[in-house]
Amino acid sequence: MQFLEPIIGGIAAFLVGFLWYTTLFGKQWQALTGMSDEDAKKDMARTHGLSLLMMIIMSFALNTFVINAHPAELQTFGHGMFHGAMIGVFYAATSTAINYLYQRKSIKLWLIDAGYQIVMLAVSGGVMAALSI
């Protein structure tokens, strides 16, 4: 099942993104990026497909190098969430911040995008750790 964990973790991350960028922050995100509804619909299959692939790759790295570095008895949903969130905070959010600082993007946009990175990595980590039992 170990090879399926990153795929399932990536799908979980993708579902978080769907909720995050539609229900929770979609309109705010569109306004802050200047993206119209028409722009958002362009090339949607490629954008979503490649995004899912990137989430699977991130999940693979999180699972292989962090979660599976711990004994199986420690691999719980909460433990996986903790490690995913820490990767989100200390790598994804900070990397995004560096890019946004140079691009002069707003703190609100960073909070939306970095917040998503933290939450989706936490959920992915939790799901994969729970599956590893």
Q: What is the pLDDT of residues 73-103, one digit of tens each?
A: 999 999 999 999 999 999 999 999 999 999 9
Backbone dihedral angles phi then psi of residue 42, each to the nearest 5 degrees? -70, 135
Span 9-26, average pLDDT: 97
Structure-block tokens of residue 73: 């008895």
In the numeric block, which tokens belong to residue 2? 């170990």
pLDDT at 47: 96
- In this prediction, residue 1 carries a pLDDT of 61
